[in-house]
Structure 1
Amino acid sequence: MDKYSVFPDKPLEPSGVVSRRFLSIGLETFLAACRYVYELPYGYNADRDDLMSLFKENKGTCTTKHAVIATLAAELNLPVEKNIGIYAMTESIVTGTDSILEKFGLPYVPMIHCFLTDGDHQVDLTEGNANGKNRSIDDFLHTETVIPNISAKDEYLKYRNALKNFILKQTELQAVDIKSILHAREEGLALLKANLKR
């Protein structure tokens, strides 16, 4: 992943709810807003669909951090977009995953991670945060561009569609049923949250 400094910079204008919020806390440029969001602690928000939850709680996940910056980019007409990627979660990425893999007979757990793109550049504003992962995610089984503040429901539907159309067609997963993947995903999410407290 690239650093957010690869993005184009631009002075903030009060062109939308997010740009007005950043201006109200004294930030003046797009890259300053990126730095602010990057430096916020990693943490799960009470309502991930509420765009302002990041500001209210002074923390965010890949979902909320990237939703805010992608929305700001849209308000400023910058070519920065939010993407979701499905990666292969293993023990090397998240400590404790082996027990899930053994339970469900999987080589990995397909999990969603969000990031930003600008052309060929990929930026993760949670990279280096204490986010429950042992390292950054650089390789994906599937990626797609989404609207900045995609709802939890719509993101889940995209995940299900990607499983059906791409992921379960992988040679190593052809004998696996979708229910096993979905149950493993739930345990994977719980593991990531538990790892934040360690």
Structure 2
Amino acid sequence: MNEANTPGVGGVLEQFGLRPIPEAHCYLKYKHERYDFTRFCESGHSSLHIIKEENILPNQIGEFKEIFHRSSIQNWLQDYELRSFQLEDIWSIREACIQALS
């Protein structure tokens, strides 16, 4: 998630010296096309950088998605050697981004 694909979060990310953070985002995929009903953009996911696509069932949107998301953030922190942040730091920044959108 960054300002380009989620307008309104850039200021929050900038406060912490971050440009993007991973976001587990749900969308519908039908006949190899992605449909995102939470964003208003004509070009679909053109501004998203999809790291991993995971098929889930509707009942997995809660606990399963959060566990998957937290694990993905932890991997991201390790892959990019972001030693100044812990998982809970990024989770709090993510929550602040979501709050900025409301």
Does TM-score exceed 0.5, indicating one fold?
yes
Percent identity among equivalent residues?
Answer: 24
Matched, 1:111 2:23: yes
Q: Compute the displacement of 1:146 (Å).
A: 1.0
CA distance in 2, matches of 1:94, 1:120: 23
Q: Compute the displacement of 1:190 (Å).
A: 0.8
Q: Compute the displacement of 1:118 (Å).
A: 3.9
Matched, 1:174 2:86: no
Q: Compute the displacement of 1:113 (Å).
A: 1.5
On the 8 A contact 2:35/2:44 being kept in 1, the answer is no
Gaps in structure 1 of 5+ consecutive residues = 1-88, 130-134, 194-198
Give 1:125's match in structure 2, choosing from 37, 45, 48. Answer: 37
What per-residue deviation string (whole Å, max 9, x for no partner) do you get for residues 78-122 of structure 1?
xxxxxxxxxxx2222333323212222222132222112246332
Residue 37 of structure 2 aligns with an amino acid whose one-letter code is L
Q: Which residue of 2 aligns with 1:95?
A: 7
| Distance 1:191-1:178 versus aligned 2 partners, 3 A rule | same
Higher relative contact order (CA 8 A, sep 6+): 2
Q: Which residue of 2 aligns with 1:142?
A: 52
Q: Which residue of 2 aligns with 1:158?
A: 68
CA distance in 2, matches of 1:140, 1:163: 14
Number of residue pairs matched by the alignment: 98
2:37 is paired with a residue of what secondary structure? coil
| Distance 1:127-1:190 versus aligned 2 partners, 3 A rule | closer
TM-score when normalising by structure 2? 0.71
1:162 is paired with a residue of what secondary structure? helix
CA distance in 1, matches of 2:37, 2:6: 18
| Distance 1:191-1:136 versus aligned 2 partners, 3 A rule | farther
Q: Compute the displacement of 1:152 (Å).
A: 2.1
| Distance 1:144-1:91 versus aligned 2 partners, 3 A rule | same
CA distance in 2, matches of 1:103, 1:144: 30
What per-residue deviation string (whole Å, max 9, x for no partner) do you get for residues 140-161 of structure 1?
1222111123242222111111
CA distance in 1, matches of 2:61, 2:2: 26
